[in-house]
Chains A and B, each alone.
Chain A
Amino acid sequence: MKDDSQPADYRWVGKRLDRPDGADKVTGRARFGADIHLPGELVGKCLLSPHPHARILRIDTGKARALPGVKAVVTGADFPVLEDRPTPVADYAFNLWDQARTLMARDKVLFDGHPVAAVAATTEDVAQQALALIEVAYEILPHVTDLEAAMAPDAPLLHETMITTGVAPGPAAPSNIVARTMLERGNIDAGFEAADIVVEREFRSKPVHQGYIEPHACIASVAEDGRAELWTCTQGPWIDRAFCAGILGWEMSDLKVVATEIGGGFGGKLTVYDEPIALRLSQLTRKPVRMVMTRSEVLRRTGPTSGSLYRVRLGAKSDGTLVAADCEMILETGAFPGSPLGTARAIAFTHLDIPNLRLSSAEVVSNRPSVQAYRAPGGPITCYAQESVMDEMAEKLGISPFALIRKNAVREGTVSLAGFPLENLGLAQVLDAAEALEHLKTPLGPTQGRGIATSYWKNGGGQTSVSAILNEDGTVNVGIGTPDIGGLRASVSMMVAETMGVPYDKVTTTIADTSQLGFNSFTAGSRTAYAVGLAVVGASKDLIAQVCERAAKMWDLPPEAVDYADGMLRPAGPNAGAHDPVPLATIAAGFAKSGGPIMGKFTTDGPGAGPNFATHIADVEVDPETGGVTVLRYSIVVDVGRAIHPDYVEGQNQGGAAQGIGWALNEEYVYGADGRLQNTGFLDYRMPVAPDLPMIGCTLVEVPNPNHPFGVRGVGEVSIVPSVAAVANAVKDATGLRFFEIPMSPPRVLARIAGARAAKDPSLKPAFR
């Protein structure tokens, strides 16, 4: 669906081209984190705590060190003690001490799987034997893994001195509540007093893992003089460098981080786990140390996203005007602070114009691994609560969910309560396209239901630097600092080819290491095609300006008297004199005599990313006998600004929806009463497989972003935001029962149906009675 007001006569942008790294990835040639080997490498392994909460009294590594083949053993004592405060890293601030203690426990272990020591040995077998020889004396402490139990006044404390921030006056006693925040506009009490209909509900969700198929893997090599190299599967090599250098107390120029190919991240590979440990072990042994996590380690040690408790109240006039909304978000953050409250707050009710709105939040630590970002952090659970209540409100008003949104849609040019500008909005176009879908006309059976959810995502820009080299044969090499997780090289090469007017296959995009470019933020936050796009278009224009200068010199003209288009240089007008057009390749070949090598660059802080919206529609069938929910049909409608490579834009959206379906129906961390994670493999942590899903329709609405040369908006994260809610609303439509807790796994669905049947609940649909 094209916006006719925008020119779209692009030669490369918008085409479905083969990705340049495709052949490497279908033939096994691509090198991922665990595929990098160095001569003389050692195997590093961590010893994990079996206890969710315990004081470390003593660690005896003597027997392990004595084992032939063991070259080094480290514990928390081998790493610096850092200041307990946020360290600024570009646009971010990270508490490196929290991360240092997440990757290696110091005085206490705070979750099942918390590393307490690590070994470097000649083989995997020796490393495993050495781990078994490390003796750790623990004083076992009471633990708490449940969000609400962790908030109780008598809960075991993870951090004995932690006082809740954000409340005045501050509490006198420590607790597991890290912080509380509150944003409000209008008058919430007056708003609800004016409402004719009020819906008030609570929603609960469990932590889920990003579920990238590639476990974390890295290999570190530290030279005798202290200079170090690190290969790792990361979403952000510069930020990895900042973490490693900060945690180890090294200078950044001494550490080169090389991003390998990355087997999925979804936010889970924004931080470091084994990287500083491998560097320290390599420093001690003066040999390369390779560390690869097992799947069980990934699930026990690395970041899931937050479990949550939401309390939502929504008030409307009987004509459908929303007058007040109150949303309390309580997120668990695992062992250390860092839950996605900021982004959760940014999306809550943001696509709606509600005069009286209150968003309050709390963050709670418990004996679980520290949470990490997961695709649209906090978005899906916020949207689940918000769109469940919106669905119920539409039902009470007797109007469609679309009509309720349209009546209350956020207005162009306003600013969200969380402070994000709402400009150049494509919400109406998304709703138009969604309401026009054939999907909505498909009839449903007696055990089937349809759910609709719409949401917003703010998208990101951020720090970016790139290079562009004009080779002597006229081809172009582009260097970017953001790992390619899902077709980035293709879209970058397409944007450069379009700007330079050269063929797509004459542009090669390479992921640079941290010694080759200025700072680059992550491949994350729906920022990459946007901000890297801005940067590579800028670098392409830098190259064009330089070749114009070279031609001007040749023709003895001022540079502005030279025109560049489609790979040809021409005098700008009749006054510039008669010169035959010169191809780019001729200027490229003559570089040595025209002023030296031709190399462009561009750096940006990536302003103007702007928001977008998506509507998801799910059809489900609920089995009355098993409680199993099958997704029959699924449609996505999303404003993408401009799809550089439509296949990969669709793919991002389809993948996000699939993750949301897993989140809604099956995925959850299961902890036993002993505080240990019970589902530490893909058999029990069950993510969607191919037979679980239908084909996933994806309609790309293109309302161009005026701040980007091609109109790009972020797409990676909006893709997952409405998914959980769409499925939950569909299960409600099928059964008549609204589910206030996810996942809606078969036992939970079956129990709910049985309860409603026993209670003769009139809302239960006939097919389930």
Chain B
Amino acid sequence: MPKIHVTTTVNGGETEFLCEAHHTLLSVLRDTLGLTGTKEGCGSGDCGACSVNMNGRVVCACLVLAPEAEGATIETVEGLAGEAGMHPVQRAFIETAALQCGFCTPGFMVAAKDLLARNPDPSETEIRYWLAGNLCRCTGYDKIVRAVQKAAREPGRHART
């Protein structure tokens, strides 16, 4: 069966790839495009390690079929830092030690950035529920919540969301 040709925008650049109908966006990002920052923890949409922003919404890349990326705008963890340096969420996670093993961290980066773009001053409860789709087994979430609160207080955050 011929492969499907997909044209999409990833981290601001137009990207083309070939895939089969059953391939996931996650497998294409990781194995075809070499964007291994997005992680696979479960393959069933339960852990959030593969969170990417697709057309302005956080999705689990393991639940998106690769052909659905046609014409889409996708941002992965690799797209968060730019010429101005790391995104405030990235800096806050380092500064508050909100990661231990770091495997779930890319998913938290993508989800937390989206939260702050929608809600610049989230309460603790809002942070916890927004991040409910992202599993972390190392931290108990305490320092993750603090990191998002710290990033929310950062001046200049809006310029990068």
Interface residues of A (CB under 8 A from B): 16, 18-19, 21-32, 34-35, 37, 124-125, 210-215, 261-266, 292, 294-295, 485-487, 645, 647-648, 650-652, 654-659, 681-683, 687-691, 693, 695-696
With A25-B105, A651-B100: A658-B44 Cβ-Cβ less than 8 Å: no
Partner of A654, one of B42, B93, B140: B140
Q: Which of A294, A647, A655, A690 has the most CB of B within 10 A?
A: A690
Closest to A652 in B: B100
A438 to B144, CA, bound (A): 24
- The reply to whether A486 and B80 contact each other, CB–CB distance below 8 Å, is no
With A690-B141, A691-B128: A213-B136 Cβ-Cβ less than 8 Å: yes
- The reply to whether B138 and A687 contact each other, CB–CB distance below 8 Å, is no
Partner of B137, one of A25, A35, A213, A295: A213
**Given the complex, which residues of B lie within 8 Å of A211, measured CB to CB?**
137
Closest to A647 in B: B97
A sample of 12 inter-chain contacts (CB < 8 A) reads A18-B94, A26-B77, A26-B105, A28-B37, A35-B36, A37-B31, A213-B137, A263-B39, A650-B142, A656-B140, A658-B141, A682-B135
- The reply to whether B135 and A687 contact each other, CB–CB distance below 8 Å, is yes
- The reply to whether A485 and B101 contact each other, CB–CB distance below 8 Å, is yes
A485 to B143, CA, bound (A): 16
Given contacts A25-B102, A28-B76, 9 further A-B contacts (CB under 8 A): A26-B99, A27-B80, A125-B20, A295-B43, A648-B97, A648-B100, A654-B142, A654-B143, A695-B145
With A648-B97, A690-B127, A695-B124: A213-B76 Cβ-Cβ less than 8 Å: no
A-B pair number, CB within 8 angstroms: 188
- The reply to whether A27 and B41 contact each other, CB–CB distance below 8 Å, is no
**Given the complex, which residues of B lie within 8 Å of A18, measured CB to CB?**
94-95
**Given the complex, which residues of B lie within 8 Å of A294, measured CB to CB?**
43
Q: How far is the CB of A240 from chain B (nearest CB, A)?
A: 17
- The reply to whether B96 and A647 contact each other, CB–CB distance below 8 Å, is yes
- The reply to whether B129 and A487 contact each other, CB–CB distance below 8 Å, is no
A301 to B19, CA, bound (A): 30
- The reply to whether A651 and B97 contact each other, CB–CB distance below 8 Å, is yes
Per DSSP, chain B at the interface is loop
A266 to B137, CA, bound (A): 9
The count of chain B contact residues (Cβ–Cβ below 8 Å) is: 59
**Given the complex, which residues of B lie within 8 Å of A689, measured CB to CB?**
131-135
**Given the complex, which residues of B lie within 8 Å of A688, measured CB to CB?**
140-141
- The reply to whether A657 and B137 contact each other, CB–CB distance below 8 Å, is no
- The reply to whether B101 and A264 contact each other, CB–CB distance below 8 Å, is yes
A261 to B44, CA, bound (A): 23
**Given the complex, which residues of B lie within 8 Å of A34, measured CB to CB?**
30, 36, 39-40
A627 to B161, CA, bound (A): 41
Q: Does B67 contact A (CB under 8 A)?
A: no
Partner of B140, one of A213, A295, A647, A696: A696
- The reply to whether A27 and B101 contact each other, CB–CB distance below 8 Å, is no
A144 to B135, CA, bound (A): 32
Scan B72-96; emit 1 where CB is below 8 A from any A CB, else 0: 0000111011000010011001111
**Given the complex, which residues of A lie within 8 Å of B44, measured CB to CB?**
295, 681-683
Q: Which of A16, A19, A682 has the most CB of B within 10 A?
A: A682
Q: Which of B80, B102, B134 has the most CB of A within 10 A?
A: B102
- The reply to whether A31 and B81 contact each other, CB–CB distance below 8 Å, is no
A616 to B141, CA, bound (A): 17
**Given the complex, which residues of B lie within 8 Å of A682, measured CB to CB?**
41-42, 44, 46-47, 135
Q: How far is the CB of A683 from chain B (nearest CB, A)?
A: 5
**Given the complex, which residues of B lie within 8 Å of A16, measured CB to CB?**
97
- The reply to whether B103 and A263 contact each other, CB–CB distance below 8 Å, is yes
**Given the complex, which residues of A lie within 8 Å of B77, measured CB to CB?**
26-28
A681 to B47, CA, bound (A): 10
Closest to A32 in B: B103
Closest to A681 in B: B44
A576 to B15, CA, bound (A): 69
- The reply to whether A27 and B86 contact each other, CB–CB distance below 8 Å, is yes
Closest to A212 in B: B137
- The reply to whether B35 and A28 contact each other, CB–CB distance below 8 Å, is yes
**Given the complex, which residues of A lie within 8 Å of B86, measured CB to CB?**
23, 26-27
**Given the complex, which residues of B lie within 8 Å of A295, measured CB to CB?**
41-44, 46-47
**Given the complex, which residues of B lie within 8 Å of A651, measured CB to CB?**
97, 100, 138-140, 142-143
Q: Does B152 contact A (CB under 8 A)?
A: no
- The reply to whether B99 and A681 contact each other, CB–CB distance below 8 Å, is no
With A655-B138, A690-B134, A691-B129: A213-B100 Cβ-Cβ less than 8 Å: no
With A23-B86, A28-B78, A295-B41: A690-B145 Cβ-Cβ less than 8 Å: yes
Q: How far is the CB of B130 from chain A (nearest CB, A)?
A: 8
- The reply to whether A213 and B128 contact each other, CB–CB distance below 8 Å, is no
- The reply to whether A28 and B36 contact each other, CB–CB distance below 8 Å, is yes
Closest to B110 in A: A28
Q: Does B59 contact A (CB under 8 A)?
A: no
Closest to B78 in A: A28
- The reply to whether A26 and B93 contact each other, CB–CB distance below 8 Å, is yes
**Given the complex, which residues of A lie within 8 Å of B80, measured CB to CB?**
27
A661 to B13, CA, bound (A): 44
**Given the complex, which residues of B lie within 8 Å of A214, measured CB to CB?**
39, 41, 101, 103
A215 to B103, CA, bound (A): 10
- The reply to whether B100 and A655 contact each other, CB–CB distance below 8 Å, is yes
In B23-72, which residues have CB < 8 Å from any A CB?
Answer: 27, 30-31, 35-44, 46-47, 49
Closest to B146 in A: A695
- The reply to whether A263 and B132 contact each other, CB–CB distance below 8 Å, is no
**Given the complex, which residues of B lie within 8 Å of A687, measured CB to CB?**
135, 137
- The reply to whether A31 and B142 contact each other, CB–CB distance below 8 Å, is no
A16 to B89, CA, bound (A): 18
Q: Which of A21, A26, A261, A658 has the most CB of B within 10 A?
A: A26
Q: Does B104 contact A (CB under 8 A)?
A: yes
**Given the complex, which residues of B lie within 8 Å of A691, measured CB to CB?**
125, 128-129, 132
- The reply to whether B39 and A32 contact each other, CB–CB distance below 8 Å, is yes
A352 to B100, CA, bound (A): 33
Q: Does B109 contact A (CB under 8 A)?
A: yes
- The reply to whether A487 and B100 contact each other, CB–CB distance below 8 Å, is yes
Q: How far is the CB of A727 from chain B (nearest CB, A)?
A: 13
**Given the complex, which residues of A lie within 8 Å of B81, measured CB to CB?**
27
**Given the complex, which residues of A lie within 8 Å of B137, measured CB to CB?**
210-213, 264, 266, 655, 658-659, 687
- The reply to whether B139 and A28 contact each other, CB–CB distance below 8 Å, is no
- The reply to whether A22 and B99 contact each other, CB–CB distance below 8 Å, is yes
